[in-house]
Amino acid sequence: MHSEKVNKGHEFLVFLIFLLVSFCLWLLKVSSEIFETNIAMGVVVEKMPEGLELQDNKIELEVGVRVKGSKLLTYMFGKECSIEIPYSDFTDNDGVLTVETSKLTNKVEAAMPADFAFRFFEEEELVAHIKTESVLLPVKFESNIVAGKNVEYGGIELVPGKVTVTAPPSMLEEMDSVLFKAGTKINVARDSILTYTLPRKKYTTYEPSVLTAKVKATPYSKVSVMRKLWVEDIPLNHIASLYGLPDSVKLTYLMPPSMAEKVDKGHFRVSVNSGNIRKGAKDTLSFTVSSLPSFVKEENVRLEPEYIILENIKPSGILNLFN
């Protein structure tokens, strides 16, 4: 039993020696051969603009080389080589940095270990990305929207009220909202839906980038009422004879719909100056509207009739001023 274990141990030792000799012979053969292969060279981007950093800390450039096996083995188990490229050598396309690899040949050859022969670049361009993060922020909308003539403006509902902003972390730290200032002034005459596109900003994107402004605008309401005609400038101790004056007139006005309940009986007093009748100073006698609410413009008030022609007046009795 003991001799069997000794024999097995002897056989295993012979096997190990055989493997070691085989490996040495293979290593000797490989060391003397010339290989064409690819190696990865590290890339360091220097002099980045303040506040910007790269998305990936490790950038590699794949390079085709021709090298003797012994040198390749030394490189594989040694320190990787790298090149330094200043930011100014890149084309910065809104956070995507690119440079043609053909412009890096001299840098690559200078950084390669001895006895390495440069052959080609695996890619035509070296690409790196500026680091960005995303955050949801509210939108502040400075409107240029105003109501047209005789239109009540009821405000704006902005959709969406928040957007996802993607930008470098240093830029996001300075933002608590997205401010959008509308440009050209717009007059609206009715409820409207307007669309705006958030302006592009370097290194910054918005999702969604299109805003919808739902504008509330209601045309003024047209209201018609009958109002008693009052006679002004008559002393209390005097009774005047008036000719052909109507007891009341039709008054039509425009007003914001939201103000309808604020009109009371004291508004829209319609009167005529009786002194014009006594003196016969005019061919026509106009009616005057006073006590206008602050939300009704004089230009938006109409009377039917607006006046009477004096020459057509016929005696029609006496008006009791105390009525």
Task: Write down the pLDDT at residue 235.
Answer: 45
Residues 34-45 pLDDT 10s: 667 888 889 999
What is the pTM for the complete model shown?
0.67
How would residue 272 be classed by pLDDT, with cut points 50, 70 and 90?
Answer: confident
On the question of pLDDT at 255 being above 60, the answer is: yes
Q: To the nearest whole percent, how much of the chain has pLDDT over 70?
A: 76
What confidence score (pLDDT) does residue 286 get?
Answer: 83
Tokens matching residue 260: 């309808």
Residues 6+ apart with CB under 8 A from 270: 227, 228, 229, 230, 248, 249, 251, 287, 288, 289, 303
- Interval 223-249: pLDDT, tens: 999 998 887 765 433 333 445 677 889
pLDDT at 254: 94
* Sign for the pseudo-dihedral over CA of 121, 123, 124, 130: negative
Please compute the mean of the pLDDT values over residues 81-88 and round it to a whole number: 91
Q: What is the mean pLDDT of residues 43-62?
A: 90
Cβ neighbours of residue 24 closer than 8 Å, sequence gap 6 or more: none
pLDDT, tens digit, for every residue of 132-168? Answer: 999 999 999 888 888 889 999 988 899 999 999 999 9
Burial grade of 280 (CB within 10 A; 0-12, 13-18, 19 or more): exposed
Tokens standing for 311? Answer: 């020459």
Domains delineated in the chain: 28-129 (2.170.120), 133-219 (2.170.120.40), 221-318 (2.170.120.30)
Q: What is the pLDDT of residue 319?
A: 42
- Give yes or no for residue 64 having a pLDDT over 60: yes
Q: What is the mean pLDDT of the chain?
A: 81
Cβ pair 176, 225 in contact under 8 A: no
Residue 8: its pLDDT value, please?
A: 59
Predicted confidence at residue 2, as pLDDT, reads: 53
Nearest-angstrom CA–CA distance, 300 and 309? 24
pLDDT of residue 323: 37
- Segment among 77-81, 293-297, 304-308 with least mean pLDDT: 77-81
* Top-confidence residue, 313 or 258: 258
Q: Which pLDDT belongs to residue 43?
A: 92
178: Cβ–Cβ under 8 A, 6 or more apart, which residues? 137, 138, 139, 140, 163, 165, 198, 206
> What is the percent of the chain with per-residue pLDDT over 90, rounded to a whole number?
42
